Amino acid sequence: MRAAPFSRAAFVVSESDPARLPFYAAEIAFVGRSNVGKSSLINALLRKDLARTSSTPGRTRTINLFSVSPQAAVVDLPGYGFARGSPEERAGWGAMIEGYLTRRPSLRRVYVLIDAKVGPTDLDRRMVVWLQAARLPWRAVATKADQVKPAQAAARRRDSAIPLGLTPPELGWISVVERRGVDELRAEAAQLLGEA
Ligand SMILES: Nc1nc2c(ncn2[C@@H]2O[C@H](COP(=O)(O)OP(=O)(O)OP(=O)(O)O)[C@@H](O)[C@H]2O)c(=O)[nH]1
Ligand SMILES: [Mg+2]
């Protein structure tokens, strides 16, 4: 019998220069606004607190790579849209994210996290347009769904999906706090990484 997916997950490296990252045969990555919950979701998927999280935006400042096997990795990226630091520093963050995304031929999917309550911001839409232009496989997932009242969930999901050119079921809908949708996303990620 095979071990549960990601039971061998481990931190590999924290790196600001995407050109220096080690290569894996299969990889998935998480992008999104600062504080949207990327690192929290990675911890939930890997069932281990490997990624550092914080209630203040700008926690993840480098590219953090976690291996789930000798062949496969999960990558946590700094968030965008948080106006901290000098313009040079902010430009550096954009370069880090873009530098990573353009250098990884084994990238199986980029998960774009959206705040379920806020919906897609201009930067989220720009990220999706950029991913489409770069022909990178992506999927949008709304997180913090526990912050949306159940009576409003269907309307919020529809209003978040449409600006991204998606139908409501195509937009993932999860909560790390309530552990909603996390098992399904783990199964999907494991499949993409050849760990299922
Ligand atoms: N209510 C709720 N809070 C969440 C959820 N997921 C994450 N959070 C909280 O959101 C805050 C930010 O989480 P992080 O995982 O650090 O966010 P991040 O996207 O990695 O942020 P940066 O590294 O700054 O880009 C933390 O206080 C988390 O506890 C969720 O599903 N529901
Ligand atoms: Mg983070």
Instruction: At 81, list the tokens.
Output: 């849209």
Mean pLDDT of 46-56: 93
1: in domain: no
182: in domain: yes
**pLDDT, tens digit (0-9, with 9 covering 90-100), for 76-131:** 999 998 766 666 666 666 889 999 999 999 999 999 999 999 999 999 999 999 99
**Quick one: which atom of ligand 1 is closest to the CA of 175?**
31
Instruction: At 148, list the tokens.
Output: 């949306």
35: in domain: yes
185: in domain: yes
Domain residues for 81?
10-192
**pLDDT, tens digit (0-9, with 9 covering 90-100), for 130-188:** 999 999 999 999 999 999 999 999 999 999 999 999 999 999 999 999 999 999 999 99
Distance CA 84, CA 133 (A): 28
3: in domain: no
Q: Looking at ligand 1, which residue's alpha carbon is closest to its atom 29?
A: 55
pLDDT band with cut points at 50, 70 and 90 for residue 46: very high
**pLDDT, tens digit (0-9, with 9 covering 90-100), for 147-163:** 999 999 999 999 999 99
Mean pLDDT of 37-47: 98
pLDDT above 70 for 45: yes
Contact 111, 28 (CB under 8 A): yes
**Quick one: which atom of ligand 1 is closest to the CA of 80?**
25
Record the pTM: 0.95
Q: What domain count does the chain have?
A: 1
pLDDT of residue 92: 62
98: in domain: yes
CATH number of the domain to which 30 belongs: 3.40.50.300
5: in domain: no
Q: Looking at ligand 1, which residue's alpha carbon is closest to its atom 1?
A: 144
65: in domain: yes
Q: What is the 3-state secondary structure (H, E, C) of 66-135?
A: EECCCCEEEEECCCECCCCCCHHHHHHHHHHHHHHHCCCCCEEEEEEEEECCCCCCHHHHHHHHHHHHCC
DSSP string, 34-69: TTSSHHHHHHHHHTS--S---SSS----SEEEEESS
Ligand 1 site-directed mutation target among 40, 43, 90, most atoms within 8 Å of CB: 40
